Amino acid sequence: MRFIGVIIVAYLLGTNAQAALTPDLDKEITRFIQSSPTVNGLRVQPELVDPNIVVPACSGGAIEISTQPGARIWGRTTLQLRCARAGWMVNVPFNIRVFGNYVVASQYLPAGQKIEPSDIRVIDGELSLLPDDVLRSPKGAYDRILSRSLQMGSPVGLNDLKESSVIKAGDPVRLVLKGKDFEVSGEGIAQTAGMIGDMVRVRIADGQVLQGKVLRPSVVVVTVE
């Protein structure tokens, strides 16, 4: 996502260069970061990568804060500080620490397990140290299947989960009837949900409900003896 913003810092600096950041500039940088949609609703803590960095003076003027095109306001990034009156611009490396809620395993969870509410919990911590796909809400995990095992306390990410059902109740499906010497197909409506290999019930046009095995998404096979 492209995010370029500029906030005018309306305060005066001294006549000479200053070490690190003044409290006012630090507050304005924090406010600028918080205006980014990337960290909306989260707590942020910007830290200078080099605490000895020197910011030139902007006597009688104002400092503009912006990001480079395409820069992400998260983790290691660079902010541009500009003083139009004095004609200078400096790139200042920051480590943007971001804090908020995320989902972790409340116990050891083996691969293939369907996630139940008791399997996960929400804790508060530093999101900027975690993978980008970490879940912020437990609702995104319920009734889904783990694709890998997780230790207790491990963050739960979207890439750790897969859909629990490839067919859901109410889905239109193609029903394939297979016998010893024949195979015919038709349409039906799934009455139950299932993963590949599960048995599900399907209602056909005349009202009958047949039971078959999920072959792949939207396809159910009924074996006729």
pLDDT tens-digit map of 120-151: 999 999 999 999 999 999 998 998 899 999 99
> What confidence score (pLDDT) does residue 14 get?
37
| Cα distance between residue 8 and residue 28, in whole Å | 9
Q: Which of 36-40, 74-78, 157-161 is predicted least confidently?
A: 36-40
Which position has the higher pLDDT, 210 or 52?
A: 210
Domain spans of the chain, in order of start: 7-98, 99-162, 172-223
Element (H, E) at 189: strand 183-190
CATH number attached to the domain at 99-162: 3.90.1210.10
Proportion of the chain above pLDDT 90, given as a percent: 62
State residue 4's pLDDT score.
Answer: 38
What region, left, alpha or beta, does residue 138 occupy, with left being phi > 0 and alpha being psi -120 to 50 degrees?
alpha
User: What pLDDT sits at residue 20?
Assistant: 61
What is the pLDDT at residue 59?
A: 80
**Considering the chain, what is the average pLDDT of its residues?**
87
Tokens of 5: 């913003």
Q: Which of 133, 190, 202 has the alpha carbon at shortest distance from 166?
A: 190
- Mean pLDDT in residue range 158-181: 90
Q: How confident is residue 5, by pLDDT bands cut at 50, 70 and 90?
A: very low
Query: What digits encode the pLDDT tens for the residues 18-64?
Result: 446 777 788 889 999 999 988 988 999 999 998 888 888 888 778 89
Rounded CA separation 183/27 (Å) = 72
Indicate the CATH number for domain 172-223: 2.30.30.760
C-alpha distances in Å from residue 208, one per residue of 66, 71, 111, 205? 65, 58, 37, 7
